[in-house]
Structure 1
Amino acid sequence: MRIDLHCHSTASDGTDTPAELVRAAAAAGLDVVAVTDHDTTRGHAEALAALPEGLALVTGAELSCRWTEPGADPAGGISTHMLAYLFDPEEPALLAERELVRDDRVPRARAMVERLRELGVGVTWEQVARIAGDGSVGRPHVATALVELGVVASVDEAFTGDWLADRGRVWVPKHETDPLEAIRLVKAAGGVTVLAHPAAAKRGRTLPESAIAAMAEAGLDGIEVDHMDHDRATRARLRGLAAELGLLTTGSSDYHGTRKTCVLGENLTDPEVYGEIIRRAWGAFPVPGAGGSSAA
């Protein structure tokens, strides 16, 4: 089985619609794909309606979190992403928290646009809103605006201290969930939690192993090891840490369509690990494809 458990659509910051995403996953030879848009499940219905025969869909989301050491200033915490799989999307407490995070994205993006304009960059809110479309607006949409204006050559180049990286010149904080609370909420909604790309140093500061240990103690199920932002040595270190902490290890593409260079199926999850994720979940279950819609 070929299993990719981390993909984004236009419901957040990908460039493929949910329908296009599942069709592309089938064309790439995947057997299982997860739709994990940022802080939203809005793309699930469209993905399900278009799900091709032979492809199973894992519903999920990538939750925006911030790790803060006990007693430290939250503003100095570390941005952390939590993959949540197969939870009940209507569970009230988790839904309310996702809405808090999602609703804070618009004022945050507007504030980043204003900071850019103060620096003499001619980006506008109308431009960012056009790029985001119906998706949950985020930094990648602002980054794409910078690419359109020729300020940077790629979205990745926008995520530096000069621009959008954490505590960069135009970075603006937003509401983010404490990861221990995120684990509790997802578990209560019947879901499974996997820490996304925990050692992706080019994104900013990474979590200390003590933080991952604290999350494991709180019920974290796994960590994403095989990821484009982890080199061979980092993957080996994370596998060792996962073994010490009794955590599952996953592999995923973190596909964003044309917004990133990664391709569907670039990294995969072991079928036995996938089976264990299914076994632990009770909020929802993978949906097998039944042909789906052929509409573009």
Structure 2
Amino acid sequence: MRIDLHTHSNVSDGTQRPEELIEAAAQAGLDVVALTDHDQTAGWAPARATAQKLGVGFIPGMEITCQDHQGISVHLLCYLQDPEYLPLLNELEISRNSRVIRAQRIVERLAEDYPVSWDLVSAHCQPGATVGRPHIADALVTAGVVESRNDAFANILSSRSRYYVSHPAIDPRDAVRLVLEAGGVPIFAHPMANLRGRVVPEETFHDMIDAGLAGVEIQHRDNSEEGKKFLTSLAKKNDLIITGSSDYHGAGKLNRLGENLTEPDMLQRILDAGSGSQASL
């Protein structure tokens, strides 16, 4: 069984509509796919309907933007949460608003050196979508500054760039607790992706585990090999769920559907633990 539990549609920063993403998953030979847009669940209904039509298993999910006490970015995947759980919805609204302010500040800095504007960035973002740096990257491509999103993130939009702007986000421990309260299953996304920027210290992992973290995404192209060894050991010691995923964004990134997969027994653990919404298998 081919299971990919980390994908994005244009509801956040992917380039395909939810229906198109599921069609691409079917063409890629996936048996089960999760839609995990940033801080949004608006793509669930069309993705589920298309998955049922095509005979692809569908797992409703989301990726929550967090920040630990040292200011390091943490991305928390969650599955099968209640999409109407108000305390979580309130935090997501705060996060989306802070993303907009952050993106505007980045664009202001970039505009001093490059032919980009907020209008150009907005043209690359679907109405109601979660605004993020990928949309700024798309604007830079359109302006001829870089050739691809990957080129933009390797340089101009990296966390080490002078154009970078951080933004306030929920503490990952609080995010884990809210996901659990919403009946969801919290999984730490690409925890050792050191090429993206700083990774959290070991104490943050243990703090999140103490809060109820259910698993870690190990097989991901951005995790270092040394990081994968650390995560495997951590998962074994703490009986964590282990996932592998593509983090697919359509044409926005090099990541390809099914390039990393989750084992069926690990998916079953997610299905057994989640109670806030239903999978379609």
TM-score where L is the length of structure 2: 0.95
Equivalent residue letter for 2:60:
T
* 2:63 matched residue in structure 1: 62
* 1:293 matched residue in structure 2: none
Equivalent residue letter for 2:63:
E
* 1:272 matched residue in structure 2: 265
Secondary structure of the equivalent of 2:109?
helix
Residues 20-75 of structure 1 deviation map (CA, whole Å, 9 limit, x = unaligned): 01111111111110000001111112212222332111111100000115xxxxxx
* 1:117 matched residue in structure 2: 111
Gaps of 5+ in 2: none
Gaps of 5+ in 1: 70-76, 289-296
Residues 78-118 of structure 1 deviation map (CA, whole Å, 9 limit, x = unaligned): 01100011000001100111111112222221111111112
- 1:147-162 to 2 correspondences below 5 Å: 147-160=141-154
Secondary structure of the equivalent of 1:287?
coil
Q: Which moved more, 1:248-257 or 1:228-237?
A: 228-237
Q: Contact 2:125/2:131 (CA < 8 Å) preserved in 1?
A: yes
For the aligned residue pairs, the C-alpha RMSD in angstroms reads 1.4
What count of residue pairs does the alignment treat as equivalent?
279
- In structure 2, C-alpha distance between the alignment counterparts of 1:61 and 1:216, rounded to whole Å: 19
Equivalent position to 2:95, from 91, 97, 101? 101
- In structure 1, C-alpha distance between the alignment counterparts of 2:21 and 2:228, rounded to whole Å: 27
Equivalent residue letter for 2:214:
D
* 1:165 matched residue in structure 2: 158
- In structure 1, C-alpha distance between the alignment counterparts of 2:182 and 2:55, rounded to whole Å: 28
- In structure 2, C-alpha distance between the alignment counterparts of 1:67 and 1:230, rounded to whole Å: 19
1:247 matches 2:240? yes
Q: Contact 1:195/1:222 (CA < 8 Å) preserved in 2?
A: yes
* 1:53 matched residue in structure 2: 54
Equivalent position to 2:213, from 214, 220, 224? 220
* 1:73 matched residue in structure 2: none
Q: Contact 1:40/1:102 (CA < 8 Å) preserved in 2?
A: no
- 1:138-149 to 2 correspondences below 5 Å: 138-149=132-143
Q: Contact 1:197/1:224 (CA < 8 Å) preserved in 2?
A: yes
Identity of aligned residues (%): 48
- In structure 2, C-alpha distance between the alignment counterparts of 1:114 and 1:92, rounded to whole Å: 33
